[in-house]
Amino acid sequence: MFSIQTITQNTQLQAISHKVMAGQRIDDADCQYLYEAAPVAFLGMLANHVRQQKHGKRTYFNRNFHLEPTNVCIYDCAFCSYSRKIKKRSDGWEFTMDEMLDMVKKYDGQPVTEVHIVGGVLPQYDLKFYMDLFSAIKAHRPELHIKALTPVEYHYIFKKAKVSYEEGMKMLIESGLDSIPGGGAEIFDEEIRARIAGGKVSSEGWLELHRIAHHQGIRSNATMLYGHVESYAHRVDHMRRLRDLQDETGGFQTFIPLKFRNQDNELSHLPEVSVIEDLRNYAIGRIYLDNFDHIKAYWPMIGRHTAQLSLSFGVNDVDGTIDDTTKIYSMAGSEEQNPALSTEQLVDLIESASFQALERDTVYNVVKEYNS
Ligand code: V47
Ligand code: SF4
């Protein structure tokens, strides 16, 4: 008969698994211990149990594309392979409003449901620019969900426009902003953040902007950039701050662990962590973040094969079709150099791992159920 004792003789791990099986929350010390001591098979079993309780075999994807206004940036994050510093501006791109609207119009007649807008930070992309952009997109295609910008941009553009976080967020929502992606979180620990995050928005600022967005009625995602100079304790601290805010507002939809990729950036001397560590990290995220409904493997970053494996380690979302519209990860060395998957390919990826595929919109309404 299968039991937890057949997977591990370690009594501390057995005690943690009893808590999880009983639907109890694990604490920070438990989480730290999982990182330090739990074998990947044990974590997979436990995380898969939690995911099956919440979602059964249901696994989501959407039809989306990205708009990246610029890859020039005033900040200088050590892990970023994408940005061209302002001094090397001529190497990068800076799209105009018209160019961006043309990119949106390219999808006319296609059943995409979401545009994800994120890029570098530059003075000309200010609050007014984004208000005009969102309004113009909505005027052209009202049903297209705008998931846009992160606290990195919000902090900068609201400060420049001399408006409070609350006022700025309200103005963007009135212009058409529908939800907020999870970027810019990196690692919240202040010492690590100072080393890698190039002077952008503080951890407190990141959390406060999501809190305000939730209070104003929109949903958001959260990321964690792992596998660089942080320790396990920093990952636990990061997830604890997210779990606390989620207890307060309930506004987060999805947690997205992002694996540090080491090509062409200031941290290129660091090796990337193993696939085993990726799977352990997804599983621990699922087990610890008991108040997050969804855990996403972002396939353009982690690669489609690891994304498929992750479905047995607590993950229940693989992001979307993308249509080769993002450069962040190919420039950082991901195996996905021209990220684009058709819905058929995404469904096959999910079904061949023995899960059920569902197309969703950004806020997890089901668009289509597949039962091949
Ligand atoms: O904040 C940048 C990360 C993030 C590297 O909410 C890197 O649905 C690894 O947040 N190695 C932006 N990661 C992307 C993002 C995102 C992506 C997909 C879906 C959603 C969502 C959000 O990309 C940045 C940073 O943490 N990043 N460079 C790198 N070299
Ligand atoms: Fe700029 Fe974002 Fe790259 Fe940091 S991660 S340098 S804020 S584009």
Q: Which ligand 2 atom is at minimum distance from the Cα of 119?
A: 8
Q: Could you write out the DSSP letters of every residue in 176-241?
A: T--EE--TT-S---HHHHHHHSTT-S-HHHHHHHHHHHHHTT-EEEEEEEESSS--HHHHHHHHHH
Specify whether the CB–CB gap between 339 and 357 falls below 8 A.
no
The per-residue pLDDT for range 109-128, each reduced to its tens digit, is 999 999 999 999 999 999 99
Nearest CA to ligand 1 atom 27: 80
Amino acid symbol at 14: Q
Q: Does the beta carbon of 169 sit less than 6 angstroms from any atom of ligand 1?
A: no
User: How much is the pLDDT for 86?
Assistant: 64
User: How much is the pLDDT for 308?
Assistant: 97
Amino acid symbol at 81: S
pLDDT tops 80 at residue 187: yes
Q: Which ligand sits closest to the CA of 148?
A: 1
- Which has the higher per-residue pLDDT, 88 or 55? 55
- Compute the distance from residue 183 Cα to the ligand 1 centre, in Å: 5
In this prediction, residue 328 has a pLDDT band, given cuts at 50, 70 and 90, of low
The per-residue pLDDT for range 264-304, each reduced to its tens digit, is 899 999 999 999 999 999 999 999 999 999 999 999 899 99
Strand-strand pairing, 58-62 and 356-360: parallel
Enter the pTM of the model: 0.96
The proportion of the chain whose per-residue pLDDT surpasses 90, expressed as a percent, equals 86
Lowest mean pLDDT among 229-243, 252-266, 339-353: 339-353
Could you tell me the domains of the chain?
A: 4-50 (no CATH), 59-369 (3.20.20.70)
User: How much is the pLDDT for 348?
Assistant: 94
Q: Which ligand 2 atom is at minimum distance from the Cα of 198?
A: 4
Closest C-alpha among 273, 318, 279 to residue 300: 318
SS3 253: strand
pLDDT tops 90 at residue 90: no
Closest C-alpha among 130, 117, 121 to residue 64: 117
User: Packing angle between helix 203-215 and helix 165-175, nearest 10 degrees?
Assistant: 50
- Compute the distance from residue 184 Cα to the ligand 1 centre, in Å: 7
Q: What is the mean pLDDT of residues 221-249?
A: 98
Q: Which ligand 2 atom is at minimum distance from the Cα of 73?
A: 1
User: How much is the pLDDT for 89?
Assistant: 79
The per-residue pLDDT for range 330-354, each reduced to its tens digit, is 777 777 787 788 889 999 999 999 9
